[in-house]
Structures are given as C-alpha cells and as structure tokens.
C-alpha cells in the first residue's frame, strides 16, 4: 500500500514537471511513431518486389497492394521499371529521415523545457521551506538533487519514456506481420521474451538499490566539496589541507567503488540480453532457412521476416537500458519528491498584517529543537515599543533562539506559550509582513558574491545609492569604503572572504538599515568591531532610529549598558532583569561579568566606571 502511494506521488510530480512541455513531447512521440511505421513499410516493399514482381507469386498479396501497383501501370510495367519500387523505398526513407529530425528537435526542446520547469519548481519550493528544514539537510546534498537527479529524470523521460511508443508500434506491427507470414517461426522468435521479462524484474530491483547508494553517496560527496570550498580559509588557517584531501579521497574511492559495483550489475544484465537476443536471431535464421528450403516460406517472406525480427530484437536489447534508466529515474524522482513533499511555510487564509510598532511580549515561552532537550524554559518579559532591550548570556543560553522565534524562523509548539507584537500573536501575523518589519543582523553575517553596494542594497529594488551611503555612514563603513580603489563597486568574494570580520559586520548592519524597519535585532553583530566603533554605531542608531524597537544581543557590557532593559539568560532561563545600574549592584551574573570586563580594560571610560562602582 505504501509502495502504491509512493508511485502515485512520483507520477504526480512527473505530471507537474511536464507542464509546458507536454505538447512538444506529444509531437516528438508522433514523429517517433511515424518513424516506426516507416520501418514497418520498408520490408513489405521488399517482399512485394521479390515475391510478386520478380517471382510472380501473388498468393499473399493484399488487394490494396495490387491496386497500388495497378495505379503505377500494372505488375508487368513495374516489373520492367524496377526504379518504381526503388522510388517508393526512397520516399519512405525521406519520410523517415524527416520524422527522425522532427523527433530530435521536438524532443530536445521538450526535455530542456521540462528541466527548466523542474529547476524552477525545486528552487521556488526550497525557498519556501522552513528554516528548521534547511538546518537538517546539507546544502551540498540539496544541490546534488537539483542538478544530478534532475538530469537523471530528464534523460529517462526524453530518451526512454518517449521511445516506449515507438517500441510498442514496432512490437505490435512486427509480430502481426510475422504471424501473417508464418506463425510457427513467429512462435520460435517469441521463445526468449518471457525469460527477458523475468530477469528484467530481478535486475530492476538490484539496479534500483545500487543506484540509490550511488546517488546518496554522490550527495555526501557534493556536500563535502561544498563545505570545504566555502570554508577554505578555515581549512588553510589550521593547516588541514592534507586531512581534508585524504577524507575527500576516501569518500571518493567509496563512491567510485559503488559505481563500479553498479556497472558490473548492468554489464551482467546487458550481456544476458545480448546472449538471448543473439540466440533468438540464430534460431530465426536457421529455422527460417529450413522452412524456406522446404517451401513453407517464400524467399520474399523470409527476407521480410528477418527484417521484422531485427525490429523485434531491438526492443528486447533496448529493454536492458530502459530497465536500468527506469531504476535510476525512480530513485531520482524519490529524492526530488522528498524535497517537494516537505511542508513549506504556510499562513492561515485570515492571517493579519497589523502595525508592527507595538510592545513585544513573550508569555511563558518554552522551546526545544527537534530531538533535543528543552532549551528555553518559561520565558516571560515585555519590551515597550520604541525602547532598547539588551540580552546577555553564555554560549547556549538561548539568546539567538529568542530572536529566531520572534522572526518565526522556528514555530512554537502548541502549549509552549506565545509571542505577541502590539497584542497580536505572531502566529496570526502574515509571515512576509512580520519579516519585512523586522531587520536582523545575524551573529555570522552572510555576504553574497556581488559588489559592496549590491550587498547593501539587496533588501529592495527601490534602494538608491544615496540610501546605501547613508546606511554605510551610520554603520561607520563609509569612510572605510571610500579608501577602497573601487569604492562601493568593490567586488565581495563568496561569503565576504575579501573583507575583515568587522567590515562584514558593518556591511550587514548597513544592509539591514536600508530596510527602515520598526524592529531591529543585532545578534552579537558588533563583536568584531572595536569598542570605539561600537559606541559610534550605537550613537548613530539612537540618533537616526530612536523610535524603533531595538534588541541588542552581546557579550559586551558596554554595548548593552544604555539599553532600557537588560535580560540575563542562564541555561535557557531569565535569571536577572533590569537596567544597567540596577544589575551592576545586584550581585549576580551581570555584575560579575561587568567587573571582569571593566577591570580588564585600561581606557579612560573604564577608569571612570571603576570609580563609580567603588563609590557604590
């Protein structure tokens, strides 16, 4: 039952992939069928030419053929002008060539259109999948599904599936003509077919299992290559080139051995098919010659029978390739269906788009990642609109998870509390509206392979160059960029590898500022800039975006001290809450961190702070 459901799902996705290319495939199939009909007609012309025109035997000549010969001037006239049947053969050959040309053109256009549809469908769907889904699946494996698996499906549909119609015509007509000429020899020709079908089912399963292992291994290999290429700076910094190369070579060796094993299975299958088809041809030739010598078959029938038998043998030989490609395509479609059947983010039909400048409230929020212990425990707090909230906590305390929940990157399970903005549960807010109202600078900023200006202006098509420069000025990046030889046209390498950590963070901040959102989140995004630049950025933000609700996550007390409220998290719980002045006198975690940080600094501001603490 489960297998039937799977096959139904796979066929449904194949139908989706064929949108836009069905008419082209239909034309290609008609052209292939016309080619097959031409193949059927050619032996009949040869048979008539030998038996009727040359030998004068008209016992098995149909009335239709006799009438056509009559239109050509009669049997005697055609017998004296053998260029007429030769011309008929040429005409059939021309039609066959044109139909083959049409098949190639239409089939190629159809297959490329189908690939375009598949890639667009996959890319669009992947973009709508939840953030949690992306965390569970490796990027390299997803890329492999979108490239190699799509090509596997394309090859099967364009080369094998379309050939089925031609094969059906060849089988039906060739067997029909063979029975009409001499039934005993036809039964002899059909003897190997049951054996071919029997072991084809067996090999289909073996090839499917082996190809699945190969495909999954290729996905792991692609993921390994992708991770090493994007993390090449880390690999070189730690001198791990040899280790990573050896690891890649080991997996590559395993991948190669899997394909070698699959090649042995397919070679055994194709060889068996060749042996059976060769045996079948031998039986037809030997027994056909015996029947012909005995006078049970005419010479023309024997020649035509051999031609039709070759058309019968070709599908049998082709069946081996079709079975192997079908097994591969089945695995590839299943891997594509895994992605496409994954549930995308969906909003309720009556989702709201309320004003986003209200108070932000967490009410008894608890959260755990799939398969992990609870990370956040009964988080409850309210952040007034237009204020700044600071969050401090150790690694793994749940700081980043809090803001990811606010942005609906992870859904809250039923009974695990709720998060509201302006009194409206974010679960009831349209996701696109929510995220367009929240500007977020992540802990690890991501920059695309584009110019610096392109990375900053990526948030909207309406962002002008003046907006880019203003955002860069607030992020204390403009002075740095003007020193670059190409300024804002400086090309940023993949993931921003050509920039320093602080420059990447400031570029990410500038990018977020171009959104002009009512809620801004800085997830430890000032950690790579010096204290002076940190202070300048915060002052500029306060001056320009004083009415926005700002959430600052940081390990630096100096970054958080001006916040209207500060939360201290420890093991997923709020253990302290208050202003900077209240917390430094509370005798808790915040005070210990604060004293550690100010006594480790030697600047004038730290000296003043130490005196204030001593007086308190």
Give 57: exposed, middle or buried? Use CB within 10 Å, 0-12, 13-18, 19+. middle
The better pLDDT of the pair 322, 553 is held by 553
Q: Tell me: the pLDDT tens digits for 105-130?
A: 998 899 899 999 999 999 999 988 98
CB count within 10 Å of CB 71 equals: 7
Query: Same structural domain for residues 450 and 379?
Result: no
| pLDDT reading at 80 higher than 70 | no
Confidence of residue 602 (pLDDT cuts 50, 70, 90): low
At 83-99, the pLDDT tens digits run 777 788 888 889 889 99
Same domain, 232 and 118: yes
Please choose, from the candidates 309, 94, 69, 81, the residue with its C-alpha nearest in 3D space to the C-alpha of residue 186. Answer: 309
Q: Where are the alpha helices (DSSP H) in 407-477?
A: 431-436, 452-456, 465-474
- Of 516, 537, 557, the residue at which a domain comes to its end is 516
Q: What is the pLDDT of residue 540?
A: 76
Does residue 472 contact residue 504 with C-beta atoms inside 8 Å? no
- CA distance linking residue 517 with residue 356, whole number of Å: 9
Q: Kindly state whether residue 8 falls inside one of the protein's structural domains.
A: no
Q: What would the mean pLDDT of 409-425 be, rounded to a whole number? A: 91
Bigger pLDDT: 363 vs 328: 363
Which of 271-285, 436-450, 561-575 holds the top average pLDDT? Answer: 561-575
In a domain, 312, yes or no: yes
Nearest to 597 by CA among 558, 567, 553, 552: 558
Q: Which residues contact 280 (CB under 8 A, 6 or more apart)?
A: 189, 191, 192, 309, 313, 316
For 577, list phi and psi in degrees, rounded to 5. -155, 130
Check whether residue 168 and residue 232 sit in a common domain. Answer: yes
- Of 161-175, 328-342, 365-379, 410-424, the poorest mean pLDDT is in 161-175
Q: Is the pLDDT of residue 408 over 60?
A: yes
Same domain? For 306 and 372 the reply is no
328 is a domain residue: yes
Residue 383 predicted with pLDDT over 60 = yes
Whether residues 461 and 480 fall in one domain: yes
Residue 127 class from Cβ within 10 Å (0-12 exposed, 13-18 middle, 19+ buried)?
exposed
Q: 203 and 278: one domain?
A: yes
Last residue of a domain, one of 296, 313, 340: 340
Within this chain, do residues 556 and 470 fall inside the same structural domain, yes or no?
no
Average pLDDT over residues 212-235: 75
Give me the CATH number covering residue 161: 1.20.1560.10
Q: What is the pLDDT of residues 170-188, one digit of tens each?
A: 777 777 777 877 788 888 8
**What are the tens digits of pLDDT across the range 64-74?**
666 666 666 66
396/532 same-domain check: yes
Domains held by the chain: number: 3
Overall average pLDDT of the 494-511 stretch: 76
- Is it the case that residue 577 has pLDDT exceeding 80? yes
- pLDDT for res 10: 67
Domain end marker among 452, 484, 516: 516
pLDDT of residue 169: 73
Residue 574 in 3-state DSSP? strand
Higher pLDDT, 471 or 234: 471
The confidence score (pLDDT) of residue 504 equals: 83
Is the confidence at residue 351, as pLDDT, over 50?
yes
**Does residue 346 form part of some domain?**
no
CATH of the domain at 386: 3.40.50.300
In a domain, 123, yes or no: yes
Q: What is the pTM of this model?
A: 0.72
Residues above pLDDT 70, as percent of the chain = 84
Q: Tell me how crowded residue 135 is: count the other CB atoms within 10 A of its CB.
A: 11
Per-residue confidence (pLDDT) for residue 54, from 0 to 100: 62
| More confident call, 583 vs 312 | 583
The reply to whether 416 and 548 lie within a common domain is: yes
Residue with tokens 């100096």: 558
Tell me how far apart the alpha carbons of residues 360 and 353 are, in angstroms, rounded to a whole number: 15
Flag whether 254 is in a domain: yes
Task: Answer whether residue 382 shows pLDDT above 90.
Answer: yes
Mean pLDDT of 159-170: 74
Q: Are residues 35 and 178 in the same domain?
A: yes
Q: What is the pLDDT of residues 200-221, one digit of tens each?
A: 777 767 777 787 788 778 777 8
Q: What is the mean pLDDT of the chain?
A: 80
Domain hosting 155: range is 14-340
Residue 528's pLDDT is: 63
Is 349 inside any structural domain? no
268-312: per-residue pLDDT in tens? Answer: 777 777 777 778 788 888 888 888 888 788 777 777 777 777 777
Compute how many other C-beta atoms are within 10 angstroms of the C-beta atom of residue 317.
Answer: 15
In a domain, 198, yes or no: yes
**Do residues 99 and 37 share a domain?**
yes
Position 166 scores a pLDDT of 72
Predicted confidence at residue 616, as pLDDT, reads 44
Q: Among residues 143, 39, 42, 55, which one has the least CA distance to residue 99?
A: 39
Same domain, 525 and 589: yes
How many C-beta atoms surround the C-beta of residue 299 within 10 A? Answer: 14
Angle between helices 2-17 and 299-340 (to 10 degrees): 100
């Amino acid at each position: 039952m489960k297998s039937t459901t799977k096959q139904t799902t796979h066929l449904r996705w194949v139908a989706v992939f064929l949108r836009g290319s069905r008419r082209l495939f239909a034309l290609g199939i008609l052209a292939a069928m016309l080619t097959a009909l031409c193949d059927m007609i050619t032996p009949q012309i040869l048979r008539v030419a030998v038996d009727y025109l040359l030998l004068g035997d008209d016992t098995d000549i149909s009335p239709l053929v006799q009438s056509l010969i009559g239109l050509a001037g009669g049997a005697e006239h055609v017998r004296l002008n053998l260029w007429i049947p030769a011309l008929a053969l040429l005409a059939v050959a021309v039609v066959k060539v044109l139909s083959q040309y049409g098949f190639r053109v239409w089939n190629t256009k159809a297959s490329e259109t189908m690939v375009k549809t598949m890639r667009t469908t996959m890319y669009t769907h992947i973009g709508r999948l939840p953030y949690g889904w992306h965390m569970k699946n490796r990027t390299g494996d997803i890329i492999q599904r979108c490239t190699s698996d799509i090509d596997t499906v394309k090859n099967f549909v364009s080369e094998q599936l379309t050939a089925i119609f031609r094969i059906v015509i060849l089988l039906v007509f060739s067997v029909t003509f063979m029975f009409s000429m001499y039934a005993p020899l036809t039964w002899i020709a059909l003897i190997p077919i049951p054996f071919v079908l029997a072991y084809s089912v067996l090999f289909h399963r073996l090839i499917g299992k082996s190809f699945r292992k190969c495909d999954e291994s290729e996905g792991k290999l692609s993921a390994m290559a992708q991770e090493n290429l994007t993390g090449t700076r880390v690999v070189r910094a730690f001198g791990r080139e040899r280790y990573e190369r050896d690891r890649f070579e080991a997996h590559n060796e395993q991948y190669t051995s899997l394909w070698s094993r699959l090649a042995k299975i397919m070679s055994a299958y194709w060889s068996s098919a060749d042996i059976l088809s060769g045996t079948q041809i031998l039986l037809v030739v030997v027994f056909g010659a015996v029947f012909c010598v005995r006078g049970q078959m005419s010479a023309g029938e024997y020649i035509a029978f051999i031609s039709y038998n070759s058309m019968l043998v070709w599908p049998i030989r082709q069946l081996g390739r079709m079975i192997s490609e079908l097994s591969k395509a089945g695995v590839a479609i299943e891997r594509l269906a895994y992605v496409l059947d994954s549930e995308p983010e969906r909003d309720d039909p009556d989702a709201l788009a309320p004003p986003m400048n209200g108070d932000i409230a967490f009410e008894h929020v608890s959260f755990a990642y799939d398969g992990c212990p609870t990370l956040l425990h009964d988080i409850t707090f309210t952040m007034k609109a237009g204020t700044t909230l600071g969050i401090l906590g150790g690694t793994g305390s749940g700081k980043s998870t809090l803001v990811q929940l606010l942005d609906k990157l992870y859904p809250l399970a039923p009974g695990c509390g709720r998060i509201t903005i302006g009194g409206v549960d974010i679960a009831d807010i349209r996701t696109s509206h929510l995220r367009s109202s929240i500007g977020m600078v992540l802990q690890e900023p991501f920059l695309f392979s584009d110019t610096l200006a392109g990375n900053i202006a990526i948030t909207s098509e309406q962002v002008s160059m003046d907006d880019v420069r203003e955002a860069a000025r607030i992020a204390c990046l403009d002075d740095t960029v003007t020193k670059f030889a190409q300024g804002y046209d400086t090309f940023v390498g993949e993931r921003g590898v050509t920039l320093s950590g602080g420059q990447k963070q400031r570029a990410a901040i500038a990018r977020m500022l171009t959104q002009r959102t009512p809620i801004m989140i800085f997830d430890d995004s000032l950690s790579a800039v010096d204290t002076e630049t940190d202070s300048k950025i915060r002052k500029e933000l306060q001056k320009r975006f004083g009415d926005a609700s700002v959430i600052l996550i940081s390990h630096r007390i100096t970054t958080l001290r001006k916040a209207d409220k500060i939360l201290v998290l420890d093991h997923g719980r709020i253990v302290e809450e208050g202003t900077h002045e209240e917390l430094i006198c509370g005798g808790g975690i915040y005070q210990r961190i604060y004293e550690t940080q100010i006594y480790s600094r030697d600047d004038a501001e730290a000296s003043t702070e130490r005196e204030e603490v001593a007086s308190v």
